[in-house]
Structure formats: structure tokens, C-alpha cells
Structure 1
Amino acid sequence: MSQNGRDVVVVEATRTAIGRGHREKGVFRDVHPADLLSTVYRGVIERSGVPAERVENVIAGCVQQFGEQGVNIARTAWLQEGLPIGASAQTIDLQCGSAQQAVGFAASQIAGGVHDVVIAAGVEHMGRITFADTAATQERFGRAFTERLLDRHQIVNQGLAAEMITERWGFSRTDLDDLAVRSHALAHAATESGAFQREIVAVETPDGPVRRDQGIRPGTSLETLGALKPAFKDGGAITAGNASQISDGAAAVLLMARETADELGLRPRALIVDQTSVGCDPVTMLEGPIPATAAMLRRGGIAIEDIDRFEVNEAFAPVVAAWAHEHRPDMDRVNVRGGAMALGHPLGSSGARLITTLLHVLEDEDRELGLVTMCCAGGLGTATLLQRL
């Protein structure tokens, strides 16, 4: 199985550990976002053994593209690492799905013969470029949403959108907190077993190298989560415990044409079978994984039972709950090493992180077919179907 055009294979994928997005307590508080991104660039190149001069293009996702993350961070991170100047680079924004879309764009370029070797990546340093900074920038340069847009769509913040999904599908607070408890337990188990070691590349900080995700809380229980107050509205179900964490991190995936991998004597690890991005209601905005997954199943002529492992981004617990309600997967196949409620969600990098984790899960568990899907602000969804080789 493969998408139209040349076969596109994943040769390497890596990520940083994920730090808390806190200016004082985050492990990456003193690390520039370009340093996070350049670390994973170097990581996929060195681990794969691909000569850096063979990389023709670099595509990186980043949501908050201003300040330290502005001026095409995909390119500046590449150059500061001393990598060959002949590679092109661009930074893209598809909100939370940015890095997954970077992988999609890279795969499309390779399948279409535009490039042979492309790095798709993503970065977000939410501790140094905060939501407050975003609001100030929007105020300085104009409203984020024009009056014409708001006349058509009564757009709210994502937390309220998550509340709408919770109400629409009839989930209880306990339903959501159960998913959060599960996420922390699985992420902790994966950390303690060493399951994340292969995918993480160390980041040098003034306090020493960081190789361990910072946001996991091993003692998370229904009791501890039940004590948290609703974050977005009185009497609501969404809290800091059943939503993704504000985080810092980067991830990268090295893709190439199958014949290029053969030429370089490299072992392809996975095939990009198919990919898509879709639009959905911009008000509830977070149900994009439902139609994106449906598109993958329909186009591939497969059933949900045919997919061995899923990575569904845990932006908010009701996103996963609604997706599961509609598609009825075996939940033992979903987010088997935890998700963003435990690990964190560095916006622009999470898509590449999910693909990196899925690749390693498929290899470690000797499985074949995996799906990554994400919701994105503005009413968007992304999906990538991966086949381990």
C-alpha cells in the first residue's frame, strides 16, 4: 500500500524529551527554541547516517511564529547547526497539526519527484513564547479574528470548544478524568521500562543533558483530578488535568524515496501509506480526527480493526473520547504509551512527535499498520497512515 507516486519511506525519527512550558520550572527554560529544533535535525541525520548534503528541503511546523520562533525558524535552526546551506527550508502553521502537515508536505514532495530527501519537523517553546505573548502580539497587530469572520462563525477558545464536545457526546467528568489517569499511567510505565529511550535525543542545558519527559505525574488518580476546578466555565468538565499540558519540545522525521534509501544502503523503517487534512466546524473545532480517520479508512479500503496502533493527540480528553465513540477502536491499541495529557503538547511539534512514537511502538511490538490523527484549532483535522517495513 502507498499513496500515489513514488513510495515514500521513513528512515529515521526522533524527538526531544518534552519539558514543562514554564519560564522558571521548565527544564528547557534556558534553551532557545531554535536549539531544540537543531538538536532533532542533527539527531535524525547522525542516527540515520545520511550525508547532510543529501537533504534537499526542511519543513518545520511552528504555531507561534514570532519573537524567538519567528523569521523562519526552520531555516535559522538549520543554519545555526552548521548544516549545508543548499537545503531549502520553510516554517508552516496548521496549528496543532503543523508538524504532521510538515510530514505530509514532505511526503507529497517526495512522491511527486520534487525532492528525494526531506526532513519534516516541528518545534514549540511555550515557556518562552507564551499564550500571553500571543495575545499581546495579536493586540498589537490587529484582532486575531475579523468581525466578518465572527459574523459567520461564533468562534470561542479551545477550552470552551472542548466543553461543547463534552456536552454534545454526553461525557461525564469521570469519563474524561479516567482517560487522563490512563494517560499518566501508560506514560509512566513507558518511561520506567525504557520504551522512550530509542526515540529521545538528549538536549544540552545549563543543568546538564535532558532525556526524560517532565510532565508525567505517576500518582495521578481520579481523586486528585476530581479536586481540580473547571478551567473554562463554571460547572464545566474540562480542567488542567484532563487537557494537554503547556510544553516545550521538538521532533523530526527523515523521509526519502524508497529508491534513494536503496541507493544509500539504508533500511526503510516505514512507508507513508496515505495522509490527509480536513476541515470541520470551526466553533466546536476539535472533532477533526473523526472525519480524518474516516477518510483514511475509506480510501484504504480498511476497517478500524485492521489498524494495529493509534496515536490520537490528547489535546483534551473529549477529543479522544468522541473519536473513540464514533470509530469504536480497541482502546488497548490507542495511545499505548500515554499522550499529551501526561507527556505534554508542544503545539507545532506534536505531529512529528506522535509519528516518532508510533514508529517505535510498531517496531517494539512487532506491529504493521498505525494511524496518527490530530485535532487543530480553527476546525481542522490531520491523519497519517503508516506501515512498518
Structure 2
Amino acid sequence: MSATAVIVDAVRTPIGRRNGSLAGVHPVDLTAHVLTAILDRNGLAPDQVDDVVWGCVTQIGAQSSNVGRLGALAAGWPESVPGTTVDRACGSSQQALHFAVGAVVSGQQDVVVAGGVESMSMVPIGSARAVGDPYGPRVRARYGTDRFSQGIGAEIIADRWKLSRIELDELSLRSHELAAAATDSGAFTRQLALVDLAEGALAIDEGIRRDTSAERLAALKPAFQDDGVVTAGNASQISDGAAALLVMTERKATELGLRPLAAFRHGVVVGDDPVTMLTGPIPATRKLLARAGLGIGDIDAFEVNEAFASVVAAWQRETGADPARVNPLGGAIAVGHPLGGSGAILTTRLVHHLRDQDLRFGLQTMCEAGGMANATLIERWS
């Protein structure tokens, strides 16, 4: 019988808005913060960790030179603990989880901390393009375009699925309302590692706009094309944050006297059209469910990254998922999308929600630049 990988614990920082409370915190230090928290919460010593697998997207400047390794050193962990940094665009830390699971299930490692970080205030999105074209002439020649734009991809999706501006704004308003309700109810309390700052601790996600409304969202101008429907209000916020997941086998957890939050059941990654770019979650979800032998109705909660409202709306149309089960705590439109940290942040939200609500299956998926998507199936531990 093959080993079962489990997520023993999951912790995240509150998400800071662009140029907000976390803007001056170095991403290596944000990484160290959640690495320290995940071990302290579970009574483990750093020398029990075999590897740190860390997601980060814009690996330049303050996020260059292997954030995962430097974060472990910044946390004061022994120099013997290695670390590596993964870039699968927005799915980087979700892919870090998949890599960690593979390592422990195969017996190569016993305890791995997976996760990710992004300081979009300190290292703005697209910074790497200042030093060269990432696509090169052959990719551009293949696709016949001089522009690979996620915003235009979101507009293509809205047009293809006939998604109205009203529909996208309604989904966005729902995100803020649910995130505010989750914050007020304490749904996030046990998953947060508060960040101490000179002006006081950051204890909640900063991006939630409690005063937004359908009227305010409707007043925003299209962001990517004059006659478009995608605005700053129905897209994810630029933000800063980090999250960490403690991964091992069921046997190792028992040996250490730890009770997992969830079992990792299946994980997939797919490639899709790199020009539309954002439709990958649809085939990724289908592939994952087929491998698991489950239907969409078997899933109790979904975390579908709200990179753009059109991505989530098209995914719902294609999968037939119950809207009430999709992003029940709000999403990146409300709280932000710190690129390399978002995958682990979604996992953290999902595993705690399954436990708190006594639900069984959770599915997480997110679109990724380059036309890719990861999808992950977890099951609440019982």
C-alpha cells in the first residue's frame, strides 16, 4: 500500500495591500515568519525538516537568490536544512505542495515545509521584463502576437462565455462581503500568524473593502480595453503575503504524535492556451475529478483563485459547481493575490474551512501565466 501524504498544519500571514502594512517587510523575513510559526505551532525542531520547497514568482531583486533557502536561514534554522524556490507562475506554492507530497510519499524525505511568498510592493509584477523579453522571438512567432496579457485573457474569457459586467461585479461584491463576514466570525483566526510591526501587529487581511457596493464597482473604468468589462474592482488585488504547509506521511505524523488537518488525495497540473492564458482551471478540475473518481457534486468546498472574476465565472459555468460552495470565505478580489504565496494561502484557507465546518472534500485550482493550472484534492482528516 502506498503512503498517504498529509497536511499536518497550515498557516499564513494576513495579506497586506499594495504599499500597505507589509510593504517594508523583506520577503525573506516574511518567509522566515511563517516557517517559524508552522514549527512552533506543532512543537517541531528545525532540524527535523528535510527541505523547504517555496513558491515565488518574480525572482529578481529582493526575491532573487532562492527565497526558500534564505528564509530558512533567516528563521535561524540549522544550515543543514536546505531550501529551493519554485516558479509555476501564480500556482508556484500550490506546485510546491505537490512537489513536497511527492518527496514524502516516495520516501525521499520525511518532513517538508511547502509554501510561498510574494512582496508585490517591494518587487512589482513584471519587474523581470525590464532586463529582457521573457518570451523570445520563437514563442512570439508561434502565437503571432506581441502581447501576452492576463488582462486581455480575462477579457477574452468574458467575451467567450458571454459574461456581463454586472455579473462580474456581483461576484466581486460577494467576495468582499464573504471575506468581511469570515473575518468578523473568526474563521481566519487559527490560520493566521500575526505580523508584528512598529505601528502594531497586522492581524487581518487589509484589502477587504467593507464600504464597496454595486454602484461603486459599476463606476470603475475598464482596465485593459475601452469597451471591456474587466476592471480593478473585479480583478485580484496586488498584495504581499506568505503561507506555509507542514507536509509528511500519515505514518510520520503518528510517529511524531501529530494530528493532521487533511490528507492530500490527488494533484494535477495542465497546460492550456497561453494567449487566453487563464482557462486552465477548467481542464485541470476535470482531470483531477476523473483521477479521483468523483463528480463535481462530491466536493464540499472549492477555492478557485479570483485572479479575475471572469475566470471564476467561466469555471463555474463549465463545471456546474454549486456557487454556494465556491470561495465561501471570499477570495483574492477581496483580500489580494500575492502571486507566489497564493497557492499555499488557498490551501490554508481550505484545510481550516473543511475542519471548522466538518466537511469532507475540498478542491483548489488556480489559473497561471503561460496557460497552465494546478488542481488539488484534499480530504479532511478523520
TMscore range, shorter length: over 0.9
Are 2:236 and 2:336, in contact at CA under 8 Å, matched by a contact in 1?
A: yes
Preserved CA contact (<8 Å) 2:298 2:361: yes
| Aligned: 1:305 with 2:313 | no
What is the match of residue 77 of structure 1?
Answer: 71
The structure 1 residue matched to 2:223, chosen from 214, 219, 231, is: 231
User: Which amino acid in structure 1 is aligned with residue 133 of structure 2?
Assistant: R
Distance 2:203 2:282 in 1: 33
CA deviations on 1:283-325 (whole Å, 9 max, x unpaired) are 0010111011001110111100001100000000011001100
Q: Is the 8 A contact 1:42 1:81 kept in 2?
A: yes
Match of 1:199 among 176, 191, 197: 191
Distance 2:159 2:75 in 1: 48
Selected match of 2:203 from 208, 211, 223:
211
Q: 1:144 is matched by which residue type in structure 2?
A: P
1:146 maps to a residue whose letter is G
**Number of positions where the alignment pairs a residue of Structure 1 with one of Structure 2:** 379
Please give the alpha-carbon distance, in whole angstroms, between the structure 2 residues aligned to 1:263 and 1:380: 37
Distance 1:138 1:225 in 2: 31
Query: Residue in 2 aligned with 1:274?
Result: 266
2:261–2:352 contact (8 Å) kept in structure 1: no
Mapped to 2, the partners of 1:268 and 1:222 lie a distance apart of 41
Taking only aligned residues, the RMSD between alpha carbons, in angstroms, comes to: 1.0
Once residues 97 and 318 of structure 2 are traced to their aligned partners in structure 1, the CA distance between those partners, rounded to angstroms, is: 26
Q: Which residue of 2 aligns with 1:251?
A: 243
Query: Is residue 2:129 matched to residue 1:138?
Result: yes
User: 2:255 & 2:53 partners in 1: Cα distance?
Assistant: 23
Matches for 1:344-383 after TM superposition, within 5 Å: 344-383=336-375
Give the letter for the 1:123 counterpart. Answer: V
Deviations 1:58-84 (A, max 9, x none): 000000101111100111111011112
Aligned to 2:137: 147
- Tell me the alpha carbon deviations over residues 34-55 of structure 1, each in whole angstroms, 9 at most, x when there is no partner: 1111111011111111222111
CA distance in structure 1 between the aligned counterparts of 2:338 and 2:277, rounded to whole angstroms: 19
CA distance in 1, matches of 2:29, 2:191: 18
CA distance in 2, matches of 1:321, 1:30: 35
Cα shift readout 1:81-108 (whole Å, capped 9, x = no counterpart): 1112222210010000000000000001
> Could you tell me which amino acid in structure 1 is paired with residue 191 of structure 2?
E
* Residues 30 and 205 in structure 1, CA contact (< 8 A), matched pair in contact too: no
Aligned sequence identity (%): 50
Structure 2 stretches of 5 or more lacking a match?
A: none
Structure 1 runs (4+) greater than 3 angstroms displaced: none
- Give deviations 1:219-258, integer Å, cap 9, x for gaps: 2211110000000010100000000000000001000011
Quote how far apart the aligned CAs of 1:29 are. 2.0
Q: Secondary structure of the residue that 1:58 maps to in structure 2?
A: strand
Cα distance in 2 for partners of 1:171, 1:387 equals 32
What corresponds to 1:14 in structure 2? Answer: 11
Q: Find 2:325's aligned residue among 312, 323, 333.
A: 333
CA distance in 2, matches of 1:338, 1:139: 34
Q: Could you tell me how far apart the structure 2 residues matched to 1:367 and 1:87 are?
A: 35
Cα separation, 2, equivalents of 1:31 and 1:120: 20
* 1:205, distance to aligned residue in structure 2 (A): 1.6
Report the secondary structure of 2:201's partner residue.
strand
Is 1:51 aligned to 2:45, yes or no? Answer: yes
Q: Note if 1:42 corresponds to 2:20.
A: no
Task: Provide, for residues 176-223 of structure 1, a one-character-per-residue CA deviation record: whole Å limited to 9, x for no partner.
Answer: 001000000000000111111111101122212111110000122111
Query: Aligned partners of 2:152 and 2:298: how far apart in 1?
Result: 34
Q: TM-score, normalised by structure 2?
A: 0.98
C-alpha contact 1:30 1:206 (8 A) present in aligned 2: no
The amino acid of 2:179's aligned partner reads A
TM-score by length of 1: 0.96
Distance in 2, Cα, partners of 1:10 & 1:304:
23
Which stretches in structure 1 are left out of the alignment for 5+ residues?
none
2:287 aligned residue = 295
Partner Cα distance (1:138, 1:298) in 2: 38
Equivalent of residue 169 in structure 1, options 157, 161, 166: 161
Q: Distance in 1 between matches of 2:101 and 2:380?
A: 16
More moved, 334-343 vs 199-208? 199-208
What amino acid does structure 1 have at the position aligned with 2:303? E
* CA distance in structure 2 between the aligned counterparts of 1:315 and 1:377, rounded to whole angstroms: 11
How far apart, in 2, do the equivalents of 1:235 and 1:173 lie? 11
